[in-house]
Amino acid sequence: MPRPATLITAILFLLAAGILAWMTLGPEDDSATSGRPGGGETRPVAVATAEVESRDLVERRRFTGSIEGADRIEIAPRIGGRVTELFVNLGDRVEPGDPLLQLDTEEFEQDVAQAAAELEVAQASLDEAVASRDAAQRELERTRELRDQGIASRSELDSAETELTLARTRVALAESQIRQRQSALRTREIQLGYARIDADAVGSQPRWVAERHVDRGALISANEPALALVTLQPVRAILAVTEADYARLSRGQAAIVRTSAYPDREFEGSITRVAPEFRPGSRQARVEVEIPNDDEALRPGMFVETAIRLGQRTDTLAVPRDAIIQREAGPTLFSVDRSGERPVARRHTAATGIRDGNWIELLQPELPEGTEVIVLGQHLLADGTPLRITDPQAVPGGDFAPAGSETDAP
């Protein structure tokens, strides 16, 4: 049995011999896999292809957002009090003029009665002042007659005139008090009317109860929200867009809206409002898309995806978006050359136009319709690389491309 020292020496000798041979002969020639001239046969690369097609393309941008009602109304009483009746509940449909809320009216009825009594007192004071004025008027006329006959003195005449002036002043004061009491009574009657809240009777648009903040018997303060009503016809999709897309959006542009609540439906709408400013925090602008909602399928708060059409090309050459890859020289496209014994790859610098889902307009190179382009495996290719072509790829399309194929608004 060899000693350990002898075994270690033998292993070191073999390692040294291997390193010396590698340095002398060099590494194994890799021309078989690199395709360099003078090397062995290059191994073909498996790829998938699709054809250049003439298509009608529509450029879209996809944004995410949420649904809001056309209007939302917070129902709050103008006076405080105890809730004695709630006529609606969450999710109820409310027609114009329907009752919503009733507050306790006992205190307000008492205020109305007191104001009415004060008005009666003021009316009595006015009657008294009028009677005093009429008496002073008659006394003045009698004193003037006596003065003309030389019976009454000048001072008596002056005193009668002064008394009439004071009586007229008291009448004017009483009339002012009447108006004041009438105004106070009207104020109390209005406050009593505020104890009952009905749905706005203006127009014929129904609304829905979106929130209910109070219950029967609860105390509520003036201007404290009690209910929230929303309109569902139409609704608005609220989007946040960045500066890159803002300049290409305008009122009237068509939009297609989709929500996970109805995965098989698409809702058509159009841009109705574009905010004139960007929010400082997010650097995004608000855009509103109005959507008819006759069947009331869309509800406020739903998350939606919205595709907005920005441009269109008719009968233009297009390739699948996966055919374009990024190289140091820029966008690159590989086509299939079948002129030789076996298909090989041909590299082209690409220039593209608008994108429609999974298809993109091909401006350069000018490839004939039907030309095969490589859509899978091209990252391993160079110009002239032999190919092993698998089944052609099916390319989906539509307004909503797979995630990442279009711009998603944050």
Instruction: Give the pLDDT confidence score for residue 8 in this predicted structure.
Output: 57
Instruction: Let me know: does 107 contact 120? Beta carbons within 8 Å.
Output: no
Instruction: Give the pLDDT confidence score for residue 283 in this predicted structure.
Output: 92
How far apart, in whole angstroms, are the C-alpha atoms of residue 382 and residue 334?
A: 9
Average pLDDT value over all residues in the chain: 84
pLDDT tens, residue by residue, 182-214? 999 999 999 999 999 998 865 567 889 999 999
Taking Cα atoms as reference points, which of 110, 86, 115 lies closest to residue 213? Answer: 86
How far apart, in whole angstroms, are the C-alpha atoms of residue 170 and residue 130?
A: 8
- pLDDT > 90: what percent of the chain? 60
Ranges 13-17, 25-29, 151-155, 278-282: which has the least confidence = 25-29
Query: What 8-state DSSP symbol labels residue 27?
Result: S
Taking Cα atoms as reference points, which of 244, 243, 240 lies closest to residue 288? Answer: 240
pLDDT of 60 > 90? The answer is no
What is the pLDDT confidence band of residue 395, given thresholds at 50, 70 and 90? low
3-state secondary structure (DSSP) of residue 236: strand
Greater confidence (180 vs 160) lies with: 180
Mean pLDDT of 264-293: 94
Taking Cα atoms as reference points, which of 224, 308, 327 lies closest to residue 268? Answer: 308
pLDDT tens, residue by residue, 307-350? 998 888 899 999 999 999 998 889 999 999 999 889 999 999 99
Instruction: Give the pLDDT confidence score for residue 396 in this predicted structure.
Output: 57
3-state secondary structure (DSSP) of residue 324: coil
pLDDT of 405 > 60? The answer is no
How far apart, in whole angstroms, are the C-alpha atoms of residue 386 and residue 106?
A: 95
Ranges 74-88, 90-104, 155-169: which has the least confidence = 155-169
How far apart, in whole angstroms, are the C-alpha atoms of residue 13 and residue 3?
A: 16
Instruction: Let me know: does 290 contact 308? Beta carbons within 8 Å.
Output: no
Could you give phi then psi for residue 374, rounded to 5 degrees? Answer: -90, 130
Instruction: Let me know: does 274 contact 328? Beta carbons within 8 Å.
Output: no
pLDDT tens, residue by residue, 122-170? 999 999 999 989 988 888 888 888 878 888 788 888 888 898 899 899 9
pLDDT of 218 > 90? The answer is yes
pLDDT tens, residue by residue, 257-267? 999 999 999 99
